[in-house]
Structure 1
Amino acid sequence: MADAAPYSVLSVGATLGEGPVWVARDAALWFVDIKQHRIHRYDPALDVGRSWAAPGQVGWILPTDDGLFAVGMQSGVHRFDPSAASFTLLHAPEGHLPGNRQNDACVAPDGAIWFGSMDDAEEATSGYFYRVHKGVCVEAGLPAVSITNGPALSPDGRILYHTDTLGKRIWRTDVGVDGTVGNTTLFTKIEDDAGYPDGPTIDAEGCLWTGLFGGWAVRRYDPAGTLMREVRFPVANITKIAFGGGDLSTAYATTARKGLDMTALTQQPLAGDLFAFDPGVAGLPGHVATI
């Protein structure tokens, strides 16, 4: 099946757009710009965007069961109230690692948030994965890497996909019903000339999509790790996709201007925009977090 070309739906000039998530209660797509300290919302029915300033680097945003949001800040996990533009600290698991920041996250079927951290200088092996649920935040027990991405969960929540971006590897780990991690195996390795695997997303058929930072594309892999499709973009840095719309059949993709010099930015005027395309498959209904 031929892929419809991705097109820009919202121009925000994101330095590092990340963490797109469709929030059904809002009928809107939320995402962040880590480096500009911004939270963005896109309403496709009105074709308008809105943004909020965050008090620091914000890596992800996810809806919570109280009608508000959880956000991953460099200082920890906060509750975010858009109406008051307020941020309340809930958990600070890495107060001993001031050079780290949070980078990506997802909500499990049980309402737990899984999130990852990374060395903000992209050098030290200090990135870990965590799980926060009903007031408790614990380290997941996965090996440290420099830049974590994901995680993402299989439709039944029993397989955790997590990315070592600099190592160009996506791993899969068994997850128990209580959130404990088990056996880990290699899911796929990205070849040297294809960019770096960024945020992963799982579709309704259990296949994994990953953005490719510096790779000009997103890819879809089947549950066995075999490449199925590649969708090319007019910009180099695609960070992550989310499925949205009433039937979850539109793919939205965040992109980044980070690392692009003036020549590259001239050649990629849409870098940093929010894109949409037809993925030919639906996404999974989103979960709300119970933090």
Structure 2
Amino acid sequence: MSAAVEVKPQQLQQWHVKEPYLHLRCGLGEGPYYEAATHSLRFVDIKKKRVHVVDLDKIPYPNPNPSVDPSSAPAGVETIQLDTPVTVTADIEGVDPRERILIGAKYGLAVLDRRTGAYEYVTKFHPDKDNERLRSNDGAVDPHGRFWLGSMSDFGYDLQPEGSVFLFDGTRTARSMRHPVTIPNSVAWSPDGRTLYFTHSTERTIHAYDYDPDSGEVSRERAFYVHDGPGEPDGSRVDVDGNLWQAVYGESRVLKISPEGKLVGEIRLPTKNITCTQFVGTELFITTAGMQQGEGTPEEVDLSGALFRVDVGVKGLDPFLFKLSKAVDPAS
């Protein structure tokens, strides 16, 4: 009889990040996006209604002085102040991002003029009448150049399952793809473009769908990953091997989830409210949300709202470009 072999659980890959890369003290840092044309990282502060643009060539890493006052416009950091919650950004096909970018604003999608700070809606969730209770949240451009964008209860209103996930095709129309939702978060695609992932935070579930590469239609919804823990899955990005790098709000960590939906790694961070991730080469940039005194340890509160950075040894997928119809382009 052969000897019994002890099978040990697979060890998780682990990374530990102790210091922020840049600390702008965001109220709700979100939506990191790599602007390849300028080797910059854009991200938003939803609560403070700001878009931050960080020139990665000008801000050293490690950064000896990560704390920055965005109002003083330090070298290497551009801050655009808006009068609306801005939740996500994307590049537009054929448009220099130094001039104009796409943003998720309160009522839908808008084009932001980087030079003036002015923005103009190109399409709204409800074109006939704005719903004050709702604002946009997370989203992304799909392989067909359309934008998937979620809506949810705005700040100051009780959180209800009243939001939707909309699909914008670059015209003035918006198509509701999932309703109701409470906190809709990241939308992402597998490397072969045949699977769409959607994170519904309040369900603690990442859903997967078949994505038709020809028509762009989705089908066969199933639970890809169900989170077991006190926090909620938030924003994510996919690497070239098909792993999801999933921020978890309330747990001080980012999860590495395999294409089979298995937890295979984690990044530990020194603050709790982790919101989203973005690849730049093999480095992962991680946004976080602010905390109030008493919501965590003094260190967790002090480092809340900061931007973190860690090399995870694998590259991420490039984002798709939004195809904006000339018929609705404010510049046309």
| Superposed displacement of residue 254, structure 1 | 0.5
Given candidates 264, 281, 288, the residue that maps to 1:255 is 288
Given candidates 204, 222, 242, the residue that maps to 1:168 is 204
| Superposed displacement of residue 207, structure 1 | 1.1
**Aligned counterparts of 2:160 and 2:215: Cα–Cα separation in 1:** 30
Residue 57 of structure 1 contacts residue 74 of structure 1 at CA under 8 Å; is this kept in 2?
yes
| Superposed displacement of residue 140, structure 1 | 4.3
Q: Work out which of the two has the higher radius of gyration on C-alpha atoms and give 1 or 2.
A: 2
**Aligned counterparts of 2:111 and 2:138: Cα–Cα separation in 1:** 16
Match of 2:267, SS state, is strand
Instruction: Describe how 1:50-65 pairs up with structure 2 within 5 A.
Output: 50-65=78-93
**Aligned counterparts of 1:287 and 1:278: Cα–Cα separation in 2:** 23
Partner of 2:116: 84
In structure 2, list runs of 5 or more residues that go unmatched: 1-12, 60-75, 325-332
Number of corresponding residues: 286
Partner of 1:119: 153
- 1:13-68: CA deviations, max 9, x gaps? 00100000101112111010000000001111101321101121111111112222
Task: Tell me, yes or no, if structure 1 residue 228 matches structure 2 residue 256.
Answer: no
Aligned AA (2:288): T
Residue 109 of structure 1 contacts residue 156 of structure 1 at CA under 8 Å; is this kept in 2?
no
| Superposed displacement of residue 219, structure 1 | 0.3
Given candidates 278, 284, 288, the residue that maps to 2:317 is 284
**Cα 1:73–1:178, aligned 2, differ >3 Å: closer, same or farther?**
same
Task: Tell me, yes or no, if structure 1 residue 188 matches structure 2 residue 225.
Answer: yes
Calculate the aligned-residue CA RMSD, in Å. Answer: 1.7
| Superposed displacement of residue 255, structure 1 | 0.3
Partner of 1:10: 22
Task: Tell me, yes or no, if structure 1 residue 154 matches structure 2 residue 190.
Answer: yes
Partner of 2:6: none
Residue 215 of structure 1 contacts residue 238 of structure 1 at CA under 8 Å; is this kept in 2?
yes
| Superposed displacement of residue 97, structure 1 | 3.1
- 1:246-282: CA deviations, max 9, x gaps? xx11100000015x33563733211101110112211
Aligned AA (1:98): E
**Aligned counterparts of 2:180 and 2:243: Cα–Cα separation in 1:** 25
Residue 152 of structure 2 contacts residue 162 of structure 2 at CA under 8 Å; is this kept in 1?
yes
Match of 1:166, SS state, is helix
- Structure number having the greater strand percentage: 1
Normalising by structure 1, we get a TM-score of: 0.92
**Cα 1:2–1:229, aligned 2, differ >3 Å: closer, same or farther?**
closer
Residue 124 of structure 2 contacts residue 172 of structure 2 at CA under 8 Å; is this kept in 1?
no
**Cα 1:229–1:280, aligned 2, differ >3 Å: closer, same or farther?**
same
**Aligned counterparts of 1:114 and 1:155: Cα–Cα separation in 2:** 18
Aligned AA (1:33): D
Given candidates 215, 223, 228, the residue that maps to 2:251 is 215
**Aligned counterparts of 2:130 and 2:204: Cα–Cα separation in 1:** 27
Normalising by structure 2, we get a TM-score of: 0.81
Match of 1:129, SS state, is strand
Partner of 2:106: 74
Higher relative contact order (CA 8 A, sep 6+): 1
